[in-house]
Amino acid sequence: MNQEYIDADEKIDIFLVEADYALKYVNRGVSADVKDLGLTDDDMSQMYEYTKEVMTSTDGKIKGVSWQATPGLFAYRRDIAKEVLGTDEPDKVQEVISDWTKFDETAAKMKDKGYFMLAGYDDSYRTFSNNVSSKWVDDSNAIVIDDAIKQWVDQTKTYTDKGYNNKASLWSDEWAKEQSPEGKTFGFFYSTWGIDFTLLGNSLATAEEDGGKLEKGNGLYGEWAVTYGPQSYFWGGTWICAYSQTDNKEVIAKLMKRLTCDGETAKKITEGTQDFTNNVAAMEELANSDFQSAFLGGQNHLKLFAEVAKNIKMDKTTAYDQGLNESFQGAMKDYFNPDSKDVDTYEKALENFYEKALAKYPDLKKPA
Amino acid sequence: MAFGKAKRKSKMVSYAKWGYIFLIPFVAAFIVFQLYPLFTTFYYSFFEYFKPQVSDTFVGPNFVGLENYKTLFTNSKILVYLKNTVIMWILGFIPQIIISLLFAYWFTNNRLNLKRTGIFKSIIYMPNLIMASAFAMLMFSLFSNSDTGPINSILTMMGFSPIRALDTVGGTWGVVALMNFMMWFGNTTILLMAAMMGLNYSLIEAAEIDGASQLQIFFKITLPLIKPVLIYVLITSLIGGLQMFDVPQILTNGKGSPNNSAMTVIMYLNLNLTSRNYGVAGAISVFMFVICSVFSLIVYYFFSRNSASSSLRKKV
Amino acid sequence: MKGHLVKESMSLKLWRAVSYIVLIFFSLLCLFFFFMLIINSTRSHYQIQQGFDFLPGSNFISNFKKVLSEDQFPIGTGLLNSLIVSGFTSVLAIYFSAMTAYAIHVYNFKGKKFMFNFILLIMTVPTQVSALGFVDLVNKMGMRNTFYPLIIPAIASPVVFFFMKQYMDSSLPLEIIEAARIDGSGEFRTFNQIVMPIMKPALAVQAIFTFVGAWNNYFLPSLIIQTKDKKTVPILIANLRSKDWASLDVGEVYMMITLAILPVMIVYFSLSKFIIAGVALGGVKE
């Protein structure tokens, strides 16, 4: 948005957007129609539909492409599963967490044995927020608190009060600690990128750069597994957009094609980083193969992810998602946190949320 | 040349114009960069003027009278933020003034005759020059919630249990107040020292001979005599305190958590400015201006009821 | 008499011991957090996560190298930018404040008293109040994302003006100016070549204070500067804070903080006596 202030040489050519704020750029002039750059429908035929839908502007132009699809799963610790549930097999673990009621029961079991079901407040947020039936903002620009979101609030409050979580905030120091060998949390809701990007690093006892190897024996490597969890969802994703005034169209087109449309590249990315790539054919192929993830104790997690990916719908996104998600989680933290005594009701936390949300987005209003 | 010889009778007058000339840079810069912006800020406070998230263009400016002020006082917690600002300031200022008076007294007391005061002075002044945002970033890192965070790890070593300081209101206020204290008490000490050293020692000597105790001398002679400097310190600290921004902003990443307790007025102003909500930002600025003026006037008139007001000018 | 002295000596000795203890306590308090900072910047991310250690580690160089090559937070450019902005701000502030003080000190003109009191008044108005209008003006002038709006306003610095005026009151007798005029010196020449050298101590003290003030300045610059290549150090620190903590190399974080405050610390510790004398001199704080 600040491109007018920069000289031609230094102007950016491409930029990345994340799911939460993707819509901010889709309908504005800064992002280029990928067909203008030279991508064709044929090129993009293997992409999961939702990755194209979400980046389509109101006048039907596709403004960005992604190399990822981001189905979400529940990653759990095999050792804790064995101890508390008697088994670490994904199918069996799934049976006891296949819906929220069962999930709550398992949480109680974890607590009895001295473990936390979840690390903190925001971990289950996405399973609810990405299954809403209404958008954050309706057509009259009023903020809407969907029932699914309310469910998250209730669940988290209960879990915090009952001690099922370790009161950590997402991305904080103490949250990352829970994924390390010293952590006592049973599982984490993760999307595909989370496994390699965050969980892997936090699980090692000796960091890679200190000479630690990516093999069993180094911390929790190999001690994790994934399963569907109580609800299917997706989380995040990154899209590549081109700046509409770029003068490097061919290079960008090549880059986009290579990363997001090419089946071979997709396979390589997945094999290398366990990321789930945006190529239906490649993913199906690997899902049905002998692909094994050493980090996940030999599991072929792609099989599960491929199932979930087919059902992702990103039609409830708005341009305000990033700010609203952030403000809501922040405001609710006060409600959950036993130390903040004056925010003792949901309504009070909600007031704080509206205040911040409206300051950030003055064009919105409170619900009637 | 021509000046010196011909204008012997009205020497002063003919040079007067140079007074104006030498003032031009200051006045010009002030008018352009401070006075004019002040007026535009006040002006915009009466307009609806913001940039919606989804568009490239602004809404407004549309005249809406006192609408922004209404929003400010009904939909926002601006008064809570003011309260937070004042609390965090006072929590740091009270220890600051007490310790500074104490240290200034010790440093200037001939009988006590402390050695190596230079080193102490260097050390306690040092935090004043630390970048507030870097300092806050440091404290945020040190007081990490993790059980093995730096501060927690030291607490554990000493036999205490780890704390989540920044998750509690008291802890957050405490850390902010501690930082403010550390950054300013050295400076205040030096100022008070200078004031005390400038006092006429014979007055104190006379009182001592008359049998007055050190305590009596301190409270009945020293303090009243340095009143102008104390007022100066109070006013500048108060104005600075009301503008508190860097420390709580970086410490809480602009959120003022927990529970908005560390949200200051300027942090709220910053939030609106970065969200391009200019109308409301204007209202906040005007509010701030009024508050600062009111507080300064109160302090000024309340404390300088005697001729100390003219000596304030001289000292300052 | 002797008994009286002896008694005094005892309680005085006690008093002295107490004051040393208290002074040492607060001195340690001031140093403690920075001690932790330095120690942690010599340790690796992994070591820091394990807990605190009073002994330094061996990762100083590697943390340093990592920070310098860190693309998201170009601290090298940041330091340079801060240096440029602070340097010029300082020069403008001291030169023009001296000039303004000179105007009030030397010349008698209508409105002189008003001017003096007015500048006094300005000192109590917080600059943040006009931030909105300032940003708006800067945009309209087309100076968004440049250093000019960070530097030029320093020409009008009431606090520095005051310091200069006080110094002139005690160190610049009007006879010198008269003598210069008789010798045929023009007004500007007198100011630049005769008065400024006399002002050196005051200029030096305020040069340091204004430099440090500009170096540490965060609020207004953050509203003006938009692009990475122009960001000053405080803005980079703020950006660092807004990143997800779990994605950062904590050793780099401590190293960045160290680099942010190091230049000022070096200046301070080499000139601390001078600086402290300067604080007392004007009775004015920056």
The interface predicted TM-score of the complex, written ipTM, equals 0.89
Q: How many folded domains does chain A comprise? A: 1
Residue entry with tokens 């996940």: A296
> Model confidence over B72-94: pLDDT tens digits?
898 888 999 999 999 999 999 99
Q: What is the per-residue pLDDT for B312?
A: 45
Which residues 163-222 in chain B show a CB within 8 A of chain C? 182, 185-187, 190-191, 193-195
pLDDT at site C134: 95
In this prediction, what percent of chain B has a pLDDT beyond 70? 91
Q: Is the pLDDT of residue C42 over 90?
A: yes
Bigger pLDDT: A3 vs C131: C131
Query: Are the Cβ atoms of A363 and B50 closer than 8 angstroms?
Result: yes
Nearest alpha-carbon partner for B22 in C42, C65, C168, A180:
C168
| Extents of the domains making up chain C | 2-64, 69-282
The alpha carbon of residue A361 is apart from the nearest alpha carbon of chain B, in Å, by 6
When scoring A15, A20, A173, A325 by the number of chain C Cβ atoms within 10 A, the one with the most, hence best to mutate, is A173
One-letter amino acid for residue B306 of the chain: N
Count CB-CB contacts under 10 A for residue B15: 18
Nearest chain A residue to B268 by CA distance is A359
Diameter over CA atoms, chain C: 79
Query: Does A219 fall in a domain?
Result: no
CB-nearest partner of B120 from C27, C130, C257: C27
B31 vs A239, more confident: B31
pLDDT value, residue A46: 84
| CA of B237 vs chain A CAs: smallest distance (Å) | 29
Determine the pLDDT at residue B227. 87
Task: Please state which CATH number belongs to domain C69-282.
Answer: 1.10.3720.10
Task: Write down the pLDDT at residue A6.
Answer: 44
Q: Give the per-residue pLDDT at B18.
A: 85
pLDDT, greater one: C134 or A244: C134
- CB contact A16 to C (< 8 Å): no
pLDDT at residue B184, rounded to an integer: 95
Confidence of residue C5 (pLDDT cuts 50, 70, 90): low
Segment (H or E) for A72: strand A72-77
Name the band, by pLDDT with cuts 50, 70 and 90, for residue B140: very high
Question: C45 in contact with A at a CB cutoff of 8 Å?
Answer: yes
Q: Which of residues 171-190 of B touch A (CB under 8 A)?
A: none
pLDDT exceeds 80 at position A364? yes
B26 neighbors C161 (Cβ within 8 angstroms):
yes
pLDDT at A10: 54
Choose from B54, B75, B80, B84 for mutation: most chain A CBs within 10 A: B54
Q: Which residue does chain C place closest to A204, by CA atoms?
A: C46
Under DSSP, the state recorded for B165 is G
Q: Of A173, A155, A172, which Cα lies nearest the Cα of A117?
A: A155
Q: In the 8-state DSSP scheme, what is residue C130?
A: G
Identity of the amino acid at C47? Q
Q: Do C227 and A6 touch (CB under 8 A)?
A: yes
Q: Which residues of B touch C152 (CB under 8 A)?
A: 29, 33
The residue range of the domain holding A267 is 3-69+235-289
Say how far apart CA A280 and CA C271 lie, in whole Å.
67
pLDDT digits (tens, 9 = 90+) for A312-363: 877 888 888 888 998 999 899 989 988 777 778 899 899 889 988 988 888 8
* Angle subtended at Cα C100 by Cα C98 and Cα C102, rounded to the nearest 5 degrees: 65
Report the percent of chain C where pLDDT is more than 90. Answer: 53
CB A234 within 8 A of CB A131: no
pLDDT winner (highest mean) among A228-232, B26-30, B210-214: B26-30
pLDDT given at position B315: 45
Indicate which of C144, C245, C248, C249 best probes the interface with A, i.e. most A CBs within 10 Å of its own CB: C245
Kindly write down the DSSP assignment for every residue of A1-49, as one continuous string: --GGGS-GGGS-SEEEEEHHHHHHHHTSTTBPPHHHHT--TTGGGGS-H
CA distance A68 to chain C (A): 20
Look at C246 and A206 and tell me if their CB atoms are within 8 Å: no
Residue A142 in tokens = 């009023």
Give the distance from residue A319's alpha carbon to the nearest chain B alpha carbon, in angstroms.
Answer: 6
Q: pLDDT band at residue B305, thresholds of 50, 70 and 90?
A: low
Q: Specify which residues A185 forms β-bridges with.
A: A116
Of B43, B122, B229, the CB nearest to C272: B122
Residue B144 to chain C, least CA–CA distance (Å): 10
- Pull the structure tokens for residue C234: 């405080």
A339 chain-B contacts, CB cut-off 8 A: 164, 167-169, 258
Structure tokens at B169: 């209101």
Strand A118-120 and strand A165-168: pairing? parallel
**Which chains touch B (3+ CB pairs under 8 A)?**
A, C
Q: Which of B32, B170, B21 is nearest to B88 (CA)?
A: B170
Distance, CA of B177 to CA of C131 (rounded, Å): 25
Q: Is the pLDDT at A180 greater than 60, yes or no?
A: yes
* pLDDT digits 0-9 by tens, B170-184: 999 999 999 999 999
pLDDT band for position A9 (50/70/90)?
very low
Q: At B153, which amino acid appears?
A: S
b/e code C153-173 from CB counts within 10 Å (16+ = b): bbbbbbbbbbbbbbbbeeebe
What's the rounded Cα separation, in Å, for the pair A168 and A183?
12
The total of other beta-carbon atoms located within 10 Å of residue A345's CB is 10
| A2 vs C226, C244, C245: nearest CB | C226
Strand partners, A270: none
d(CA C149, CA B280): 24
Query: Which phi and psi (to 5°) does residue A137 adopt?
Result: -125, 130
Q: How many CB atoms lie within 10 A of CB C242?
A: 9
**Average pLDDT, integer, range C222-247:** 90
> Is the pLDDT higher at B145 or at B25?
B25
CB pairs under 8 A between A and B: 86
The yes-or-no verdict on residue C7 having pLDDT over 60 is no
Is residue A77 a contact partner of residue A186, using CB atoms and an 8 Å limit? yes
- pLDDT, tens digit (0-9, with 9 covering 90-100), for B233-273: 998 899 999 999 999 999 999 988 788 889 999 999 999 99
B50 CA to chain A: closest CA distance, Å?
7
pLDDT score of B2 = 47
Asked if C143 is an interface residue toward chain B (Cβ–Cβ < 8 A), one would say no
pLDDT for residue A178: 87
For A140-174, b/e burial (b = at least 16 CB within 10 A) is eeebbbbebbeebbebbbebbeeebbbbbbbbbbb
Q: Which whole number is the average pLDDT over A255-276?
A: 82
Using a CB–CB cutoff of 8 Å, tell me whether C17 touches chain B: no
Residue extents of the structural domains in chain B: 87-259+286-315
Instruction: With H, G, I as helix, E, B as strand and everything else as coil, classify residue A239.
Output: strand
pLDDT in tens, C116-168: 988 888 887 888 899 999 999 999 999 999 999 999 999 999 999 999 998 99
CB contact under 8 A, A355 and B272: no
Name which residue leads in pLDDT, C89 or A30: C89
For residue A212, pLDDT beyond 60: yes
Q: Do residue A198 and residue C45 have CB atoms under 8 angstroms apart?
A: no
Question: Tokens for B297?
Answer: 């006037």
Looking at residue A209, what is its pLDDT? Answer: 66
Is there a contact between A337 and B167 if contact means CB atoms under 8 Å apart?
A: yes
Report the pLDDT value the prediction gives residue B307, as an integer from 0 to 100.
44
| Domain B87-259+286-315: assigned CATH number | 1.10.3720.10
CATH code for the domain of A19:
3.40.190.10
Closest Cα to residue B34, out of C94, C132, C139?
C132
